[in-house]
């Protein structure tokens, strides 16, 4: 599996209890999993305090209880979305000032019980802080060895490119990854997925940018629409209620029948083998769900099957 799949730890420590979270993490590592994704704000909306940090804290306890496992995993975390006042998001989000970035990374490392993370993300654009300040603050983290690589999540394309230009001008490390909501279905034009930030959804413009900047990776969050592809108790969000969805689901079902799998596995295989390829971030609540996601990364789709999936739009 290696880098083909990222385990999303968003709800670990809040919705997901510690025992089952540890079980999933252990199974992920035993299966060859490497990347674990979290954020300093996870999951403030599910915690009685109204603040985040619970996911990182749980991961820190898990790492402490598993000597040697830190050398086998790569940690991805984020800054920018943690509210500074409970119940007032996004208007009191911490933002991406140099001070906010410094305080946030120190807090994340403390909760995780580590001295570095392999990937650090700007979680969403900061409408107040100049990009120059944010880019410089992130670059300093890489220079200090605190952070391995940098990424941005929920950013418009123009800001991604502008930030990378600033980094080059500063002689600093720049963003080399984008984390957006990406899945096989497409929302109705003029709407945006309820799971995403304003610029969170992958669009044709995002894909076009990545096609021409091969050094940039795409990480895809909520790729399975929180169970919407396969679970009757998890209906698809309203923005997917249009004729294009019916066409895409029909082809998904055909390919699932041909491969002896299901919609979820086909979606994940489509993402990982696409151009540009995407690395799915999967949030699971059971080991069985994790096994299904892992199996999907090894599902081969033929060129004709992939062409049919792409043409269904």
Q: Which residues are catalytic?
A: 42
| Spatial contact of 254 and 219, defined as CB atoms under 8 Å apart | no
Closest Cα to residue 60, out of 44, 46, 47, 42? 42
CA R_g for the chain: 19
Closest Cα to residue 152, out of 70, 79, 205, 244? 79
Phi, psi of 95 (to 5 degrees): 75, -170
Other CB atoms within 10 Å distance of the CB of residue 175: 23
């Amino acid at each position: 599996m290696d880098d083909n799949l990222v385990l999303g730890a968003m709800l670990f420590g809040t919705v997901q209890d510690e025992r089952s979270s540890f079980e999933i993490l252990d199974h992920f590592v035993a299966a060859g999993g490497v990347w674990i994704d979290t954020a300093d704000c996870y999951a403030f909306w599910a915690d009685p305090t109204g603040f985040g940090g619970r996911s990182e804290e749980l991961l820190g306890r898990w790492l402490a209880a598993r000597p040697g496992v830190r050398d086998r995993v790569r940690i991805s975390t984020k800054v920018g979305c943690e509210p500074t006042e409970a119940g007032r998001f996004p208007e009191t989000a911490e933002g991406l000032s140099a001070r906010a970035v410094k305080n946030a990374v120190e807090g994340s490392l403390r909760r995780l019980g580590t001295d570095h993370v392999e990937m650090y993300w700007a979680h969403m654009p900061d409408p107040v802080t100049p990009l120059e300040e944010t880019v410089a603050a992130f670059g300093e983290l890489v220079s200090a060895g605190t952070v391995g690589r940098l990424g941005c999540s929920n950013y418009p394309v123009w800001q991604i490119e502008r930030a990378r230009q600033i980094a080059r001008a500063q002689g600093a490390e720049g963003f080399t990854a984008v984390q957006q909501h990406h899945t096989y279905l497409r929302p109705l034009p003029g709407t945006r997925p309820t799971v995403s930030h304003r610029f969170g959804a992958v669009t044709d413009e995002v894909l076009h940018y990545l096609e021409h900047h091969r050094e940039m990776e795409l990480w895809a969050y909520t790729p399975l629409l929180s169970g919407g592809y396969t679970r009757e108790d998890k209906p698809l969000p309203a923005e997917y209620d249009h004729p294009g969805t019916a066409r895409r689901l029909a082809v998904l079902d055909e390919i699932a029948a041909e491969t002896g799998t299901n919609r979820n596995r086909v979606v994940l295989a489509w993402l990982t083998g696409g151009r540009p390829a995407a690395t799915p971030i999967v949030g699971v609540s059971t080991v069985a769900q994790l096994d299904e996601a892992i199996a999907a990364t090894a599902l081969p789709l033929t060129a004709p099957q992939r062409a049919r999936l792409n043409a269904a739009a």
